C-alpha cells in the first residue's frame, strides 16, 4: 500500500502554527459534513429553495442554510475563532473574544447547481483577529494580502480541497471511506498560459466594451497564439477556478452595465475573490479586478463586490491590458 499523508499530518510536517492548523482542520471537517449532506440532499428533502431572499438579494436554497449552519457550528466550537462572517449572514457573528483568528466564508458557492447534480463549493478565508477585538466591521475589513490562510472545497465527482498558508497551494482528495483529506498534489503550479476561459457569456450584451473586446480577442483564431480559446463555465466559481488552476486559462466575472447597484460585478471580495486569489497566486497565477490586484483591494464593506479576473498570469495580464485601455 502506498503511504498516505492526511491533512493534519501535512500541516504538522509543514510547521503550520498549531492554532491555524486547528482552524483549517475545522474548515475541512465542515467540508466533510457538507459533502455528506450534499450526497443525501435528494433523499432527505434538502433540495430546492427556502423561499427566503438573502442579504445579497438572492434566493436562498435549503442547502445554503444547512452548509452555513454546519460551518458556523464548527467554528463556534473551535475555540480559536473570534468572528465569523458569511455570505448567508447579514452581520458577522462574534464567537470568542480574544481568539486569534476571524473566518469569512461562502458556505455553498454555486448552490443553484445542487438540484441538478452540478458541482458546488465552499470558500474559506482565515485572517488574524485584532487583539482587542475592535469594532466588528472594522476588524474584518482586511486586505486579501493580510490573510493567514485560504482554502476552497470542490464537491464534484470527488470532493477536493485546495489550501494555502502562504507557502504554496496544495491539493487534497477526500477519501469517502475514512473521511480524511489525503494529500494528492503538493506545490501546485498553474500553467503560465491556458486554452480555456470561463464567463457567463449570455450576459455579454451588458459587458463593457473593453470586456467584449477581450472576448473577441480570445475567440479570434490565431494558430501561433493558441486561439480561439474554448469556453468552460459551470456556474460555480469554485469549480471553474479549480479547473483553471489545474489546466490554465482565465475565469472572469466582470463589472457590467446591467444593474447600477451591482456596478462591480457579482462576486464578493472578502469570502470569494480574496481567498481564491491567495490560492491561485500561491500557485503562480494572478487575480485582478482588471485594474488592480485583488489582494490589494482595501475592503469597505463585508459583502463588497468586485470584478474578478483570475487564472494564468498570461491571460490575466492580457485582460488587464484590455480593461486598462492599453489594447
Ligand atoms: P453564489 O455564491 O450565490 O452561488 O453566487 C456566486 C456564483 C458563482 O459560483 C458563479 O460563478 C456565479 O455566481 C454565477 O453567476 P451567473 O449565474 O450570473 O453566471
Ligand atoms: Mg459564491
pLDDT in tens, 278-318: 999 999 999 999 999 999 999 999 999 999 999 999 999 99
pLDDT in tens, 249-270: 999 999 999 887 777 899 999 9
Q: Is the pLDDT of residue 35 over 70?
A: yes
Q: Is the pLDDT of residue 242 over 60?
A: yes
Interatomic CA distance for residues 207 and 213, integer angstroms: 10
Please give the domain boundaries of the chain with CATH numbers for all domains.
7-185 (3.30.540.10), 196-323 (3.40.190.80)
From 236, 239, 240, 243, the mutation candidate for ligand 1 (largest count of ligand atoms within 8 A of CB) is 236
DSSP E strands in 44-168: the ranges are: 49-53, 59-61, 81-86, 93-94, 101-109, 120-128, 147-155, 159-164
Take atom 7 of ligand 1 and give the residue whose Cα is closest: 110
Of 104-113, 129-138, 234-243, 276-285, the least confident: 129-138
Q: Which residues of 248-262 are buried (b: 16+ CB within 10 A; e: fewer)?
A: bbbbbbbbbeeeeee
Q: Is the pLDDT of residue 135 over 90?
A: no
pLDDT of residue 51: 85
The atom number, within ligand 1, closest to the CA of 112 reads 4
Reduce the DSSP state of residue 135 to 3 states and report it.
coil
Of 12-16, 71-75, 128-132, 164-168, the least confident: 128-132
pLDDT of residue 9: 98
pLDDT of residue 150: 98
Handedness of CA 21, 77, 112, 277 (dihedral sign): negative
At 199, the pLDDT band (50, 70, 90 cuts) reads very high
Interatomic CA distance for residues 278 and 292, integer angstroms: 14
Interatomic CA distance for residues 292 and 20, integer angstroms: 29
> Nearest Cα to 78, choosing from 62, 100, 52?
100
pLDDT of residue 134: 56
CA 189 to chain centre: 17
The atom number, within ligand 1, closest to the CA of 253 reads 11
Q: Is the pLDDT of residue 237 over 90?
A: yes
Pairing mode of beta strands 308-311, 250-253: antiparallel
Take atom 2 of ligand 1 and give the residue whose Cα is closest: 109
At 244, the pLDDT band (50, 70, 90 cuts) reads very high
The atom number, within ligand 1, closest to the CA of 239 reads 9
The DSSP element (H or E) to which 28 belongs, if any, is: helix 18-40
> Nearest Cα to 120, choosing from 63, 184, 177?
63
Enter the pTM of the model: 0.96
Average pLDDT of the segment spanning 187-200 = 98
Of 169-183, 195-209, 259-273, 294-308, the least confident: 259-273
The atom number, within ligand 1, closest to the CA of 106 reads 2
Q: What is the 8-class DSSP label of residue 256?
A: B
Pocket of ligand 1 (CB under 6 A): 58, 87, 106, 109-111, 200, 235-237, 266
Q: What is the 8-class DSSP label of residue 5?
A: -
Contact between 112 and 61 (Cβ < 8 Å): yes
pLDDT in tens, 50-93: 888 877 777 888 999 999 999 999 999 988 999 999 999 999 99
pLDDT of residue 44: 79
Place of cell 464567463: 199
pLDDT of residue 200: 97
Output the average pLDDT for the chain.
94
Q: Cα(235) to centroid of ligand 1, in Å? A: 6
Contact between 87 and 42 (Cβ < 8 Å): no
Average pLDDT of the segment spanning 182-206 = 97
Amino acid at each position: 500500500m502506498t503511504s498516505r499523508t492526511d491533512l493534519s499530518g501535512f500541516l504538522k510536517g509543514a510547521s503550520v502554527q498549531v492554532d491555524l492548523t486547528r482552524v483549517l482542520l475545522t474548515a475541512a471537517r465542515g467540508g466533510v459534513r457538507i459533502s455528506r449532506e450534499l450526497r443525501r440532499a435528494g433523499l432527505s428533502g434538502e433540495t430546492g429553495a427556502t423561499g427566503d431572499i438573502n442579504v445579497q438579494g438572492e434566493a436562498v436554497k435549503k442547502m445554503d442554510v444547512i452548509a452555513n449552519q454546519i460551518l458556523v457550528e464548527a467554528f463556534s466550537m473551535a475555540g480559536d475563532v473570534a468572528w465569523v462572517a458569511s455570505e448567508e449572514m447579514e452581520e458577522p457573528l462574534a464567537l470568542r473574544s480574544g481568539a486569534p483568528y476571524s473566518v469569512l466564508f461562502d458556505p455553498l458557492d454555486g448552490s443553484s447547481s445542487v438540484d441538478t447534480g452540478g458541482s458546488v463549493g465552499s470558500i474559506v478565508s482565515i485572517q488574524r483577529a485584532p487583539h482587542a477585538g475592535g469594532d466588528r466591521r472594522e476588524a474584518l475589513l482586511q486586505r486579501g494580502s493580510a490573510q493567514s490562510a485560504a482554502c476552497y472545497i470542490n464537491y464534484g465527482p470527488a470532493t477536493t480541497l485546495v489550501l494555502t498558508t502562504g507557502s504554496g497551494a496544495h491539493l487534497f482528495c477526500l477519501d469517502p471511506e475514512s473521511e480524511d483529506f489525503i494529500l494528492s498534489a503538493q506545490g501546485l503550479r498553474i500553467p503560465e498560459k491556458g486554452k480555456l476561459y470561463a464567463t457567463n457569456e449570455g450576459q455579454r450584451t451588458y459587458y463593457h466594451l473593453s470586456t467584449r473586446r477581450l472576448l473577441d480577442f480570445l475567440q479570434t483564431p490565431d494558430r501561433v497564439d493558441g486561439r480561439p480559446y474554448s469556453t468552460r463555465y459551470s456556474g460555480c466559481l469554485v469549480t471553474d477556478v479549480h479547473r483553471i488552476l489545474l489546466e490554465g486559462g482565465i475565469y472572469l466575472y466582470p463589472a457590467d452595465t446591467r444593474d447600477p447597484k451591482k456596478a462591480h460585478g457579482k462576486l464578493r471580495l472578502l469570502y470569494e475573490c480574496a481567498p481564491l486569489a491567495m490560492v491561485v497566486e500561491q500557485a503562480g497565477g494572478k487575480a485582478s479586478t482588471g485594474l488592480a490586484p485583488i489582494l490589494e483591494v482595501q475592503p469597505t464593506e463585508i459583502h463588497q463586490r468586485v470584478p474578478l479576473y483570475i487564472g494564468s498570469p498570461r491571460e490575466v495580464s492580457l485582460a488587464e491590458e484590455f480593461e486598462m485601455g492599453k489594447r
